[in-house]
């Protein structure tokens, strides 16, 4: 049973010693709780500081990584541009079919019969580019035979000379459809 405090006196006195003890205990409790709170806060702040440092370190690292990423991106962009240029150039080359000059030479070999000599040859390295050549033949018939073969290829006879041993001509023509 809880103590029954029954005092009917109109004037009561506070027990100074007990009051002081109670106040002291309360103060001590307050100091203790404050101390614990301060300790906890300090510990938390220390932990926060450590975490902040870690975060700062991670942030610096992240920034470095971002910088690196940016730099790499720039490099990639530069490479991309170079590659695009190279690709464009390659595509240009493919478009121009500059590689077909061998087939043009093969064609020449095919159309020039025995007894003919090609003295000079210039090839424009572009699709359907003009080919100019100086050619000589032992007989005029052979030269005429060549003219016949080259007629479908926009043949232009710049000049034709006749000497004691042979017949010489400066010709230019172009192969429009090189797949043939």
Partner 1 sequence: MVLNKFLLPERLPRQFIYAGDRHCEIFTLAKNRIIRRQRIAGAVLAEPDAGSWPEITARLQPMDTGIILNSDPFIFNFFEFDKLPWSRKLLRELVDWKLQKIFPENIEAYDHQFFRLNKKKIFSILIKKMFLEQVESLFREKRMPLIYIGNSTLEILNRLAKLKCPPDFFVELDNSSCALVFQSKGIPIYIRKFKSGSRSDMAAEINKTVQFVKNSYGCDPRSYFFCDHQEEVSADGIAAELAGENLSCRSATTAGGTPYIPGSQ
The residues that touch partner 1, with contacts defined as CB under 8 A, are: 1-16, 18-19, 22
What is the rounded distance in angstroms from the CA atom of residue 133 to the CA atom of residue 85?
34
Provide, rounded to whole angstroms, the least separation between the CB of residue 25 and partner 1: 10
Q: How far is the CB of 24 from partner 1 (least distance, A)?
A: 12
Query: Which is closer to partner 1, CB of 6 or CB of 120?
Result: 6
Query: What phi and psi values does residue 151 have, to the nearest 5 degrees?
Result: -55, -45
Quote the tokens at residue 15.
Answer: 């027990």
Query: Which lies closer to partner 1 via its Cβ, residue 15 or residue 77?
Result: 15
CB-nearer residue toward partner 1: 21 or 41: 21
Q: How far is the CB of 39 from partner 1 (least distance, A)?
A: 27
Question: How many Å apart are CA 112 and CA 149, to the nearest integer?
Answer: 9
Q: Is 137:167 a contact under the CB 8 Å cutoff?
A: yes
Measured from the CB of residue 32, what is the shortest distance to partner 1 in angstroms? Answer: 18
CA-CA distance, 180 to 165, in Å (whole number)?
A: 35
Which is closer to partner 1, CB of 22 or CB of 45? 22
Range 78-84, long-range pairs (CB < 8 A, 24+ positions): none
Place of tokens 């017949």: 167
């Amino acid at each position: 049973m809880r103590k029954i405090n029954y005092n009917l006196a109109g004037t009561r006195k506070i027990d100074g010693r007990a009051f002081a003890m109670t106040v002291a205990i309360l103060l001590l409790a307050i100091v203790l709780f404050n101390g614990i709170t301060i300790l906890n806060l300090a510990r938390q702040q220390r932990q926060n500081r450590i975490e902040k440092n870690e975060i700062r370190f991670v942030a610096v690292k992240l920034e470095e990584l971002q910088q690196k990423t940016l730099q790499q991106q720039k490099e990639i962009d530069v490479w991309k541009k170079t590659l695009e240029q190279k690709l464009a150039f390659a595509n240009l080359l493919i478009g121009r079919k500059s590689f077909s000059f061998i087939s043009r030479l093969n064609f020449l070999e095919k159309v020039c019969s025995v007894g003919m000599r090609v003295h000079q040859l210039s090839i424009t390295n572009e699709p359907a580019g003009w080919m100019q050549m100086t050619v000589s033949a032992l007989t005029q018939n052979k030269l005429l035979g060549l003219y016949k073969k080259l007629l479908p290829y926009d043949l232009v006879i710049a000049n034709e000379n006749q000497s004691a041993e042979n017949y010489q001509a400066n010709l230019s023509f172009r192969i429009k459809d090189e797949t043939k």
